[in-house]
Each structure stands twice: as C-alpha cells, then as structure tokens.
Structure 1
Amino acid sequence: MTSKTEKNKGFRQFLNVIERIGNKLPDPFMLFVTLAVIVVLLSGFISLFDVTFTQPGSDEQTSIKNLLSVEGVRFMVTSVIENFVGFAPLGIVLTMMLGVGLADKVGLLEAFMKNTILRAPKRLITYAVVFTGILGNLAADAAFVIVPPLAAMAFYSVGRHPLAGLAAGFAGVGAGFTANLIVANTDNVLSGISTEVMQTIEGAPIVTPVDNWYFMVVSALVLTAAGGLVTEKIIEPRLGQYAGGLSKSFEETTIKEKKGLRNAFLAAVGYVALLVLFIAWPESLLRNDQGGMIPSPFISGIVPIIMLFFITVGMAYGITVNKIEDSRSVARYMGEAMKDMSSFIVLIFAVSQFIAYFEWTNIGSWLAITGASLLESVNLTGITAVVLFILLTALLNLFVYSGSAQWGLEAPVFLKLFYFLDYHPAFIQAAFRVADSSTNIVTPMNPYFVIVLAFMKEYDNKAGLGTLLALMLPYSLIFLILWISLFLIFVLLGIPFGPGITVHV
C-alpha cells in the first residue's frame, strides 16, 4: 500500500513539474513571436561563421542567410502579408469551417453526438461513447464540453458509474482527437503546415488532407475498441458501484431534432451517391488525364468537396428544425463559425512569420541535414528513429497542448530530416499525429482539463486533479502503445497510410 501511495505521489509531483514548466511558457501566439525573434538573432550569429552545406541531390553550396542584413530586413518588411495570406493552412481551414461551422451552429453535430450516446444499446454504450468522442473532433474543441458530460449522464441513466462514462468520453475526444472516419479540420491544418514546409525543397511531394486518411479510419475503429475495453476492464472495476446521492435527468433528442437528423442523413446519402456516380463516370472531370484517381482533381479538391457535404447536411438539418429560415440565416451561421476561428487566425499569423523566417534563413534545412547525417553516422535511420520521434513528440505534447502549434515547431526540422532519410512527409505527419493525441488527456496544459474536472465534481465533490489523472492515465498509455503498434503494422505490411502514401518517397 505504501509503495502504491509513493508511486501516486511521485506521479503527481511529476505532473506538477509539467504544470509549472508549462505555465511559464508564453501563450502560443507569443511563443512563436519569441521564436521568430530568436531566429532573427540566431541567423545573424550563425552567419558570422560562414556556415555552408549541400542539399541532397545538389552540388550547390547553400549558406545561412542573415535576417539582420539589408536583404534580410527588406524580406521581413515586405513579406509579412504574403507570409500570412499565402500560408497553406489558413485558406484550407477557413474554407472547411464554412461547412463544418454551419453544421455546428444549426445544432447538427451536437444532436448527432447526443443521439448517438443516449440512444445506444446498453451493451454497446461504452463503445458508442468512445466512438462519438473520436468523431467529435469534427466539432473541434466543442466536443470537449459536449461529449464527457453526456457520456457521464448516459452511464448514470443505466445504473453504471457516471465517472466511467465521463472518462470514456474524455478519452475518445482527447486521446483520439486526430483520428476520424472522414477528413476533418485536423487533416487540413497539419497537411497545410507540412506542405508549407516541404514546398521549399525542389521536387519534394506535397501533403494533402487525405494523405493519412486510411490510417486514421483504422485508428478510429481500433481506438474505439481499446477505449471500450479499458473502460469496462480497468476503469469501472476500479471505481466500483456509484454510491452518490445525485439525482439528475437528461433531455433526449426531440421529435424535431430526430426529423432533422433523418433528413440530414438522407441528404448525406444523396450527396455521397451523386459524388460516387460522378467519380465512377470514366471521363469524369474529377479524374486525372489517364482516368486515375492518384493524383487527381478529386484528391486536390477534397476540401471544397467536404465543405459542400457539410453545407448540404447542415442546411437539411437546419431547415427541418427551423434554424434556417432564409438565405441570410446561412450566411449568419457561417459568420458565427468564422468568429470562433479568430484565435486560430491570430496564431497562424505568428506561426506563418516564424516558418517563413526559418525557411528563408536556411536554418531549418541546415539542422535537418545535420541531424540526418548524425543519425546515419550512428546507423539510426530505420523505423526505430521514427518511433523515437513519436515518443519525443508525446513528451513535448505535455508542455505544448496545441497540435497546430506543436507541428509548427517540429515540422520545419523533422519533416525535412526524415525526408532526407527517404521518408515520405505524410508518413512522418502520421507519426506525429499518433503522439500528439495520446497524451492530450494527461497534461494540465489542456485547457479543457479543468472543465472536465468540474464535470467530475458534479458526481463526486471530493474528486481532484489526482482523481482525473488516475482515470485517464490507462487510456493515455494504452492508446499510445496500441497506436504505435498499429503504425508499425501498417509499415511492416506495406499498407498505404492514404491514397498512394507509403513509408518512403
């Protein structure tokens, strides 16, 4: 007993250290502003030593460029707007949010999640909770405040421990955040940053939003099964029978909402059917000149295609539940969705400047080539190096919660480093996503951690930080181990991670 208590105390102290360090980090916007300033100063310092290097596949010597020089200052002054508006993730995410935002604002996504959880068969409710949480990333961070309390209520309503339901919901939303059955905003953000980084290398492949799709579909199903088993075999036995005296009731979906969901489903089926028919047509405009699909206008145009899908189902639902009364309603809801993206837009401004400076100075390429050479010198160029990258990212995620911010930090170096070792950028992006999600639910840097803790206190007023951490740690560790294993299975069996995406370039 003493040993167990000491271990728990040690783990809490470890998390307290993480929280203290994380709290000393500036806001992500200011973090990237600070990093941009560091790049400026670093470029001036390194340029004093006339550092040069050779790009793989080229005989031309490349030097570190000085941002404090006349040329550098002119670049910084004249490129600000281009760096921002030309940054790939910005346009992609805002375009996608026109559709997803409409579906969210009319209440479709919340009604779907509520209907899925509360109407699931009792024997499948655990898996429905985890699965809905994973799919919930379509609603972005809103899923953190929708799914866990609904899941707790669903468990409570069938006589199971509500904290087990809350834990399963939080695990699905947080640890499974980057997985999904369809292309989501996470795909757009990460692939946009990856493309921005790789386009500075001549002949390097771009990364599209569907490049991790196959892997993420399988991941969503595997994590659903894993989350359900962890809940039923580890979490619930540990919690035991709920003895709280709380009396709560919940609102099921109304008749109107059910009709809205039905009509949205019919609209979705119709949209997908028309799309499949159009693609199946041998001379389809969405195929390439050879009649193939990889690459094709369909792949490169996947974002507006998905946007139109969400507009279609969102309008079907909104009209049914009288949320959309005229054409002005559609524009108003889309505008509200854009307002929710304001913090993302502000962050992207800082990220875009940092990456532009990093690329212009050639510091990123220099570090990547130097790192690749170092790994080759110690014969660490195989899949072991990629697994170590996953573990490093999982650790860093404890301090930098935002996935886009963390990828903005890591991509300029690691994408190029592994590309010079002949790994496909989309493959390395998939590795990053495994780590980025798994530890979301055990870091105090997650802004929704405290919110979930507040939900927990509704059922157990004695619950604290340690209670929540103890519940979520099994999910985090098992998800990470299982996800890495799935990642390696894809590698060993040669399964593509997305359309045409293999391990190597």
Structure 2
Amino acid sequence: MQRLLNVIERAGNRLPHPFILFLILCVVVAVVSWLMALNGAAGVNPKTGKEIFVQSLISGDGLVFALTSLAKNYINFPPLGVILVIMLAIGVADRAGLIASLMQVSVMKAPRHLTTFVIFLVGMCSHVASDAAYIVLIPLSAMIFQAVGRNPLVGAVTGYVAVGAGYDASLLITPVDVILSGITTSAAHTIDAKAYVSPLDNYYFIACSALLLSIVGTLVIERIVEPMAGKYTGDVALDLQPIGEVETRGLKRVGWAALAFAAVIVVAVLPAGSPLRNETGGLVPSPLLESVVAILAAFFLLLGWIYGVAVGKIKSARDGIGFMTDSVKELAPTLVLFFAISQFLAWFKWTNLGEWIAISGSHLLDASGFGGTPLVLAFILLATIMSIFITSGSAQWSLMAPIFVPMMMLVGMEPALVQAAFRISDSATNVISPMSPYFAVCLAFLQRYRKDVGIGTLAAMTLPISVGFLVAWTAFLVFWIEVGLPLAPGVGLFLK
C-alpha cells in the first residue's frame, strides 16, 4: 500500500499546476487543429445533418479569434459569475460562524448510535461552506468520538471522508453543483446551443445518494475501520466546548428566518399566474428554477447576517461587507484557474475539435453497440483513474466534459446523466490521493493524537471508504438508470 501511494504521489507531483496544464492544452489544441484542418477533417452531425469542418487556430481567423475573444471568453465562462454570487452570500454565513455552529449542533445532539451516520450526512451537506468544511469537521468529529468513548483517530478520519468522499453528494445545493453545471452547459453547447444544465439538474440523484452513502460510510467505519484501529491509548485530553447561549439564540433566530424565507417563496409561487411559473403555469422549466442562484444567495446572505448580528460578529454593514470581501479573496486561486480553463474551452469549441471528436466517437459507439449502462460504467472507470492524479474536480471536469458530454449526447444521453456519473469518480477518490491538500490536513490532525501516524495509516483507513463508496454509488446509478428515475424535476436520463 505504501509503495502504491508513493508511486501515485510521484506521478502526481510531476504534473504541472492546473493553470499551466490548461495553457499547455491550449497550445495542443492549436497544433492539433492546424494538422487536422490541413487534412480536411470533417464530420456530419447526426442530429442536425450539418457538416462541420475542423478550423485551424494557427491561421489568420484563428489569431483574430484568440486575440479578440480573450476577455469575452473569461467573462462569459458559465461558472464564473454564478460562483462569485453564491460565495459572496455563503462567505457571510461562514465567517459569521453560522455554518460551524450548525455543524456542531447537529452532530453533538445526535444519539450515540447515530453519531457516525450524522457526521457523514452533515459532512455531505457542509459543502455550502466549500473546503472550509474540512477544517471544521475533522477536529470536531475527532473530539465527538472521544467524548463518547470511541477512538478520536477514527473520528477524524470519519469527518475527513464524510466531506471528501461525499464531496459530490448532498441534501443541499452547493457550490459544487454550480461549478459542474456551468462546465457541463458549456460542453453541451457543442451539440445544442440552447442546452442548459442548472445547479438543480442532479438533485434527486445526489440527495438520495447522500442518504445511501451515509449508510454505507457508517457500516464501513463501524465494521471495518474502527475494529482495525482499536481503542485509543493516547493521552491527549478532550477539549470540546459546546456552543453558548448567544450562539443558541442566534440559531433560533436563523431557524425562524429560514421558515419565513421558505414561506415567502411558496406564497410567490403558489398563484397560477405567478411570474415565477412558465407560460403554461408549470414549474419545470420555469423562472423559479432559473432563479435558484439568486434565491440561494439571498437565503444564505439573510441567514448569515441575522446570525452575525445575534452573536455580535456583525455590528455594522461594514462587517458584513468585509466578510464578502474575504470570501472573494479566498476564491482568487479558483478565479485564476478559471481564466486558463475558459480560454481552453473557447478555443476547443471554436476549432470544432470537440464536435468532430464527439461525432467520430458516437459513430464508433454505434458500430460497437457499446452504449447505455456499459458506456456509463466505462466512463466512471476512466474518470476514477484520472481523479487520483487530478485532485481538482472542476479542472478534471473541464478537461473531460468537452469530449464526453457531446459524445454521449450524440448517443442519446442527457448531459446531466454524464455529469452525475462523473460526480461518483470525482468524489470517491478524493480521500485516497496524497496530492489532495486535505490529505495532509487530516494526517496532521491524526498526528496530534498519535505521533507515529503516517501516510500508510491514513491510506489504510480511507481506502475501504473510497472503494465502498465507488462500488455502492456506481451500483446505485446503475439501479437508477435501469429503473428510469428522473435526475431532477423535469430532467430525465436520455434525450428525447
């Protein structure tokens, strides 16, 4: 195990930074498009009957496009504006302490026999605070396990895998949904310029997955990992402080505000002539679903502000605005990466390489008869292998989506189904890759309780979860496909 992890670590460390990787890919797209254009590469879109030709970026038209569209490519990158809006609001809730208090209350008040299950479920819902969930839940889970007489090392690992291995499953809509749906939409435009994948388009599947994975995670932790770890024999004292009266009062105000907010939405949508309904009076699709980003932003901003005022962290508007500013500062690495990704996707689309590959690949799939569930399983396997080396889900999906979303659309699959399949591989491998920064974070927390804990120890404790999640979640998706369940309101599995 140690040798395998060392090989993975060395291979991953040889990869360039994702920003540099996508700049290199831009150069690759330019050269490949030039060579294929010289050879007259073309194809006929089976859905539109239109013949497409690969365009060379190394040409006069290509140069003009690359230079004149640089800023536009970035500004029009689908996830950019959405993630900024969402994080402005979530930043207030996070820095006011609301997210941490909700996590602590929900886990601490769980019955002892449900502790592990609740940690998993809370971890999967904690991504509204993005990666900050790791920093809060890992030490909190360790202390809660110790408080009920269980091994705190297992507790820390439980918190880590709940957030990491369950990263793409949740009962809530999180920034992950926003980013992935934006990239999927951009990739789907290769085939259908009107295609739109909203942050809600995987909701039924990921919400049910969160419950399933919480059960699977509980069984693996309690039946495999905890017996393997044994009892804790260290001398680190318990330091778990429950939230005080001020925080409790703040949470009560937040609860009432959340109910009032939900009531306002229901009242606004209830009338048959509501402007939030579509022209026929339905809700799928409708302005309501298209407004989910604005609604979520208003929801988190309102609750975060109310809690911040209640606990004294927001004394004036300046404090709340300061929290927004801090949240945007933390997004800087993501915004920088988005610049390189947006250029790559725009160049890839302009050259028609994506559509040509999709058409050629769809012909091969049709000829081989390899489609449906077997195709989804093969895609999950490929994505899983890649996920071990590319720890950024958005970076990997930006790499895979332009090829696989159009290709699988041409054999009849909904873009949302391809995205759902990707989420399985991206999520399950998060906790076993030493390239993940939070692998080191969890290791550091484990070493607080036992100095001799190493990579092998952490890998041995996380690998069963990773494999269990991958197998169970993949089987769940196969079941979902075979039964023909919708992925979200109005979102099926296959294109009509």
Structure 1 length as normaliser, TM-score? 0.96
Please list the CA deviations of residues 137-191 of structure 1 after superposition, one character each: whole Å capped at 9, or x if unmatched: 1111111111111101110111101111112111110000111112111111001
Letter in 2 for 1:261: L
* 1:470-481 correspondence to structure 2 within 5 Å: 470-481=460-471
Unaligned ranges ≥5, structure 1: 1-10
Contact map agreement 2:380 2:421 (CA 8 A) in 1: yes
* 1:59-458 correspondence to structure 2 within 5 Å: 59-202=49-192, 205-458=195-448
What root-mean-square deviation, in Å, do the aligned CA atoms of Structure 1 and Structure 2 show? 1.2
Contact map agreement 2:190 2:406 (CA 8 A) in 1: no
Aligned counterparts of 2:368 and 2:49: Cα–Cα separation in 1: 24
Aligned counterparts of 2:343 and 2:234: Cα–Cα separation in 1: 52
Distance 1:155 1:360, change over 3 A: same
Aligned counterparts of 2:11 and 2:222: Cα–Cα separation in 1: 34
Contact map agreement 1:144 1:448 (CA 8 A) in 2: yes
Identify the residue that residue 29 of structure 1 maps to in structure 2.
19
SS in 1 for 2:480: helix
Letter in 1 for 2:222: E
SS in 2 for 1:53: strand
Aligned counterparts of 1:353 and 1:92: Cα–Cα separation in 2: 18
Contact map agreement 1:129 1:165 (CA 8 A) in 2: no
Contact map agreement 1:65 1:360 (CA 8 A) in 2: yes
Of residues 46, 49, 60, the one that matches 2:39 is: 49
Please list the CA deviations of residues 306-338 of structure 1 after superposition, one character each: whole Å capped at 9, or x if unmatched: 111101111111110011112222222111111
Please list the CA deviations of residues 462-503 of structure 1 after superposition, one character each: whole Å capped at 9, or x if unmatched: 110000000001110111111111111211222111111111
Aligned counterparts of 2:371 and 2:483: Cα–Cα separation in 1: 19
Please list the CA deviations of residues 279-298 of structure 1 after superposition, one character each: whole Å capped at 9, or x if unmatched: 12222111111110011001
How much identity, in percent, do the aligned residues show? 39
Letter in 2 for 1:348: F
Letter in 2 for 1:102: V
SS in 2 for 1:178: coil
SS in 2 for 1:442: coil
SS in 2 for 1:397: helix
Please list the CA deviations of residues 398-419 of structure 1 after superposition, one character each: whole Å capped at 9, or x if unmatched: 0001010000000000000100
Please list the CA deviations of residues 94-127 of structure 1 after superposition, one character each: whole Å capped at 9, or x if unmatched: 1111211111111111111122223322222111
Structure 1 runs of 4+ with >4 Å offset? none
Letter in 2 for 1:36: C
Aligned counterparts of 2:345 and 2:39: Cα–Cα separation in 1: 23
Contact map agreement 2:413 2:493 (CA 8 A) in 1: yes
Contact map agreement 2:169 2:206 (CA 8 A) in 1: yes
Letter in 1 for 2:208: V
Letter in 2 for 1:264: V
Letter in 1 for 2:152: P
Aligned counterparts of 1:57 and 1:224: Cα–Cα separation in 2: 41
Please list the CA deviations of residues 49-101 of structure 1 after superposition, one character each: whole Å capped at 9, or x if unmatched: 11111112334321110101000000000000000001110011111112111
1:204 CA drift (Å): 5.3
Aligned counterparts of 2:130 and 2:193: Cα–Cα separation in 1: 34
SS in 2 for 1:62: strand
Unaligned ranges ≥5, structure 2: none
Q: Is 1:13 matched up with 2:39?
A: no
Structure 2 length as normaliser, TM-score? 0.98
Letter in 2 for 1:138: V
Distance 1:344 1:360, change over 3 A: same
